[in-house]
Homo-oligomer: A and B are copies of this chain.
Amino acid sequence: MKNSGRADYGARKAMLRPDISIALVGEAGQGIQSIETILVSLARAKGYHVYATKEYMSRVRGGINSTSVRISTSPVDALADRVDIAIPLLPAGLPYLKKRLTKNTALIVDGSLFPQKTRAMIDIPLAAIASEVGGAIYANTIAAGVVCAIIGVDESAAESFVADRFAQKGEAVVARNKLAIKRGFDAGREIDLSFRLARPSKKKSGNITLAGADAVALGALAGGCDYVCGYPMSPSTGVLERLAAYSQRHDIIAEQVEDEIGVINMALGAWYAGARALITTSGGGFALMCEGLSLAGMIESPLVAHLAQRPGPATGLPTRTEQGDLNLALYAGHGDFPRIILAPGTLEEGFTLTQRAFDLADRYQVPVLILTDQYFVDTYYDTKRFKPAAMGDRRSIVETDASYKRYSVTRNGVSPRGIPGFGKGIVCVDSDEHDESGYIVEDAEARVLMADKRMRKARAINKAAIKPTYIGGKDAENLVVTWGSTFTIAREALAALGRRDTALLHFPWLHPFPIGAAKTLRGAKRVIVAENNMTGQFADLITRETSLPISSRILKYDGRPFSVEELADAVARELDTHEAAQRRPPKRGA
């Protein structure tokens, strides 16, 4: 085995690292997913904390996809640029990694595929070993073995893991995979790196390891979701598929509908009949649902919608990430009506907010939108096992009597919600302006009565709003603001920056704008909003709600999430500019 990297790495004494970052690049079909799974599972079993995220092209075969894995002695939940171990399974993968390689990165390749060496590489003849093992398809298992060896997984644990994983495929396949792992370990042990992963503190944390899509689906399950419908659309399909799988074990109807308009209207029918329905879609599909959302507003139907964002406009970058649909979520639908918008920043929030969404929707009879994005749904890490909230009054419905009126006018605007077939009353809902019984009206007074009733709910909702999370020293003068998936990245970035004067304000609840947040924002000397879109949609929302002008926006809209380093740098730059500006005498009239 040639190890062209040995000279570089072997010379220094291996440094102990609490956190190692690994990047795998390959074409669709090459099995980088499989390497990732083996690695993460074994690291997790050994007691490490793990994190993985992927980015992929909008194609089924070919192209270039990548996965970033972090294995750490402490919890880890954000994308780092830094790569300690990089494995491009094909030369075309190298450019995709370029910006992330440092001189300390161990670049592991099959040298036969990389005739021109532009930098130090650790050459492991994956293809050659694979053909010895039994065929090209074993290359990924071999690569997994290599990395397992490097990070110190026990060989026997790895062998039994792959044995389990391939058990269904027959003994021969199991044997060959075990051999592949072994050969990978052999090769991996030969590598002499400048760093070594520290041992995990204890065996296993009792955490669960799951992706954003899992957290949302579990939250829906815990929220009592019993009807899910959708139309396939990346990156929202995962939630539909997971709940479809749950429908085999729980009371859930899972239906793929002909189009997104059908999706939302079907879900409203389901709520009307007493179900707790979830719809899941992405920006383009949600754009088709705007009229239906307005219907939810008018008939005061609860609704929970999962909107997994991707870069637009139009088809955009279908498999990438962006936080570009906030404006649409805020204002979708014609006419004025209350709604709630949530945006989980952590897996835990993904679970708790989704569960809560069902209760909020049901209690206030309004649509609740859960904004995630491709990065969020496709990212997984281990996290404290979720604690579902109690499921007290799971359905906020009443048994009707003969005098029942669906839209009885009440103080807080919420009318007791009956459903057809439960009680002696009839339940009439109408998309036209209507009276308390649900029949069409046209006169001015009746209109105002109902419009006011609907809007009064917004006030009640305001009180239920979740305050933004403040992380940092009290009265820090700089405030970095995030919403949704950018949170964990910003948290690690600020921790890395380590500035006492700079705190983080994360919004998991976006609308109605949480009362009190304005005060926190105004309290800061400088507000920097970091979000994954082109114009700073949340920054604009803050201005609209608080009349606070936001000039510092850190925006990214290339279809990729921020990395910790990138965001840390950008925040540092913003602060520097600001400080420099402050040192200059103020301009007249500024």
- Which residues of A are at the interface with B, using a C-beta cutoff of 8 A? 57-58, 63, 261, 283-288, 290-291, 293-295, 297-299, 309, 311-320, 322, 324-325, 327-328, 330-337, 430-433, 440, 442, 444-445, 447-448, 451, 455, 533-535, 537, 540-541, 543-544, 547-549, 557-560
Whether the pair B290, A534 counts as a contact (CB closer than 8 A) is no
Interchain CB contact (< 8 A) of A298 among B313, B336, B559 = B313
Whether the pair A295, B317 counts as a contact (CB closer than 8 A) is no
Whether the pair A334, B317 counts as a contact (CB closer than 8 A) is no
Q: List 19 A-B contacts (CB under 8 A).
A: A58-B432, A58-B442, A288-B288, A295-B313, A299-B314, A312-B333, A312-B335, A312-B336, A314-B431, A315-B430, A316-B433, A328-B331, A332-B332, A336-B533, A336-B534, A336-B537, A445-B558, A455-B534, A547-B549
Copies of the polypeptide in the assembly: 2
Q: A447-B317, A544-B543, A549-B547 are in contact. Are A312 and B294 (CB under 8 A)?
A: yes
Residues of chain B lying within 8 A (CB to CB) of residue A559:
433, 442, 444, 447
Shortest C-beta distance, A313 to chain B (Å), equals 4
Whether the pair A535, B336 counts as a contact (CB closer than 8 A) is yes
Q: A448-B558, A534-B451 are in contact. Are A284 and B294 (CB under 8 A)?
A: yes
Residues of chain B lying within 8 A (CB to CB) of residue A293:
287
Residues of chain B lying within 8 A (CB to CB) of residue A548:
547
11 additional A-B pairs beyond A298-B312, A547-B548, beta carbons within 8 Å, are: A57-B442, A287-B333, A288-B288, A288-B291, A297-B313, A312-B337, A313-B337, A317-B432, A322-B335, A448-B557, A451-B534
Residues of chain B lying within 8 A (CB to CB) of residue A63:
442
Q: How far is the CA of A247 from the CA of B311 in the complex (A)?
A: 40
Whether the pair A313, B288 counts as a contact (CB closer than 8 A) is no
Chain B residue, CB-CB nearest to A540: B544
Whether the pair B334, A331 counts as a contact (CB closer than 8 A) is no
Q: How far is the CA of A557 from the CA of B451 in the complex (A)?
A: 8
Chain B residue, CB-CB nearest to A444: B558
Q: A455-B534, A547-B548, A559-B444 are in contact. Are A313 and B336 (CB under 8 A)?
A: yes
Shortest C-beta distance, A273 to chain B (Å), equals 19
Q: How far is the CA of A288 from the CA of B330 in the complex (A)?
A: 16
Chain B residue, CB-CB nearest to A336: B534
Q: How far is the CA of A533 from the CA of B290 in the complex (A)?
A: 19
Shortest C-beta distance, A419 to chain B (Å), equals 20
Q: A58-B442, A543-B544, A544-B544 are in contact. Are A447 and B311 (CB under 8 A)?
A: yes
Residues of chain B lying within 8 A (CB to CB) of residue A535:
336, 455
Interchain CB contact (< 8 A) of A324 among B285, B311, B317, B336 = B336
Whether the pair B314, A432 counts as a contact (CB closer than 8 A) is yes
Whether the pair A444, B560 counts as a contact (CB closer than 8 A) is yes
Chain B residue, CB-CB nearest to A335: B312
Shortest C-beta distance, A321 to chain B (Å), equals 11
Q: A57-B442, A287-B290, A287-B294 are in contact. Are A335 and B318 (CB under 8 A)?
A: no
Residues of chain B lying within 8 A (CB to CB) of residue A337:
312-313
Shortest C-beta distance, A284 to chain B (Å), equals 5
Whether the pair A335, B325 counts as a contact (CB closer than 8 A) is yes
Q: A317-B432, A432-B317 are in contact. Are A334 and B283 (CB under 8 A)?
A: yes
Shortest C-beta distance, A26 to chain B (Å), equals 16
Whether the pair A298, B315 counts as a contact (CB closer than 8 A) is yes
Whether the pair B294, A314 counts as a contact (CB closer than 8 A) is yes
Chain B residue, CB-CB nearest to A318: B432
Chain B residue, CB-CB nearest to A544: B544
Whether the pair B432, A315 counts as a contact (CB closer than 8 A) is yes
Whether the pair A286, B448 counts as a contact (CB closer than 8 A) is no
Whether the pair B328, A330 counts as a contact (CB closer than 8 A) is no
Q: Which of A63, A335, A544 has the most CB of B within 10 A?
A: A335
Which A-B residue pairs are the 9 nearest by beta carbons?
A: A312-B335, A283-B334, A298-B314, A313-B335, A444-B558, A314-B431, A287-B290, A287-B291, A544-B544
Chain B residue, CB-CB nearest to A541: B544
Q: How far is the CA of A455 from the CA of B448 in the complex (A)?
A: 40
Whether the pair B543, A286 counts as a contact (CB closer than 8 A) is no
Shortest C-beta distance, A264 to chain B (Å), equals 11
Interchain CB contact (< 8 A) of A313 among B294, B327, B448, B541 = B294
Q: How far is the CA of A309 from the CA of B534 in the complex (A)?
A: 29
Residues of chain B lying within 8 A (CB to CB) of residue A290:
287-288, 290, 328, 332
Whether the pair A558, B447 counts as a contact (CB closer than 8 A) is yes
Residues of chain B lying within 8 A (CB to CB) of residue A533:
336
Whether the pair A333, B328 counts as a contact (CB closer than 8 A) is yes
Interchain CB contact (< 8 A) of A334 among B287, B297, B431, B448 = B287
Chain B residue, CB-CB nearest to A59: B442
Q: How far is the CA of A505 from the CA of B444 in the complex (A)?
A: 28
Q: Which of A283, A331, A535 has the most CB of B within 10 A?
A: A331
Shortest C-beta distance, A459 to chain B (Å), equals 13
Q: How far is the CA of A58 from the CA of B455 in the complex (A)?
A: 24
Q: Which of A298, A334, A543, A544 has the most CB of B within 10 A?
A: A334
Chain B residue, CB-CB nearest to A557: B451
Q: How far is the CA of A335 from the CA of B537 in the complex (A)?
A: 10
Residues of chain B lying within 8 A (CB to CB) of residue A299:
314
Residues of chain B lying within 8 A (CB to CB) of residue A444:
558-560
Shortest C-beta distance, A571 to chain B (Å), equals 20
Q: How far is the CA of A131 from the CA of B63 in the complex (A)?
A: 84
Q: How far is the CA of A447 from the CA of B534 in the complex (A)?
A: 11
Q: A311-B335, A543-B543 are in contact. Are A320 and B442 (CB under 8 A)?
A: yes
Q: A448-B558, A451-B534, A558-B444 are in contact. Are A333 and B315 (CB under 8 A)?
A: no
